[in-house]
Structure 1
Amino acid sequence: MLEHRWLAEQLIHAGPDEEHALRTWERTGRILQRMELSTAQQFHASLAVTNYASGMGAEISQRQSEEEDADVEQMFREQLERWGHTSTEQFPFVHSVLGEFHRHDDRTEYIAGLELLLGGIERQTWG
């Protein structure tokens, strides 16, 4: 998805009967069929992976097209500043991760999220 940024946007807007959306779901499902998952687990996992991949891909694609506009970067900095001024008592987690945004990379975020999702699916095969 990261190399073909247009694909995620098309999958998001495609209906469930459109061939490319159906093929993407089918390919994901076939991989999951090789695992020791129940049919219900395969169903939920296939939707989670497909929706994550296309949703995050579309979000990253949109972000990158907007980044051509310098105002987006400024808006992002202002948002981080607003979060930094929130109550540390009410938002301890937010404050603990704010520094991560300075090292933020779309590709790394995408892969890390997918690895977390796939790791959870893999653990279901053990139990």
Structure 2
Amino acid sequence: MEFFENEGYRVIILNPLQTHQQKKKSIRKIKTDPIDANRIAQVYYLSDFKLRNKLDNSLIDLRNLCRQYDGFNTLYTEAQLRFRSTLDLVFPNYDKVFSHLCCKTSLNVISNFPSSKQLVAFAGGL
């Protein structure tokens, strides 16, 4: 959006709910780019919109930081899910022994005994 504003274009932001309502008015459920563009144009011409206010650079930076934070949280969640599924293959029912898989004790067990067979062999030798 900033690019278009810097190039001198007027920028208006439409609410996706309004364009979706316009779509629901149609009898046929057709989804193509030209039809979507036509619906967006109808919403624009049938409604009263204000021009987008130019945002302060600090607000733009804050928005970008929030998006990065959300992206990092998504990556962290995906990594945890992959870790849990891999751990379940190597150590079946491991999560029944440790309620927190990433606590220090759990991670020490995993690093010292990379497979369940090694852990059973060690426990049998005690």
Same-fold call, TM > 0.5?
A: no
TM-score by length of 1: 0.28
Question: Which structure's relative contact order is higher, taking Cα pairs within 8 Å and 6+ residues apart?
Answer: 1
TM-score by length of 2: 0.29
Quick check: which one's helix share is greater? 1
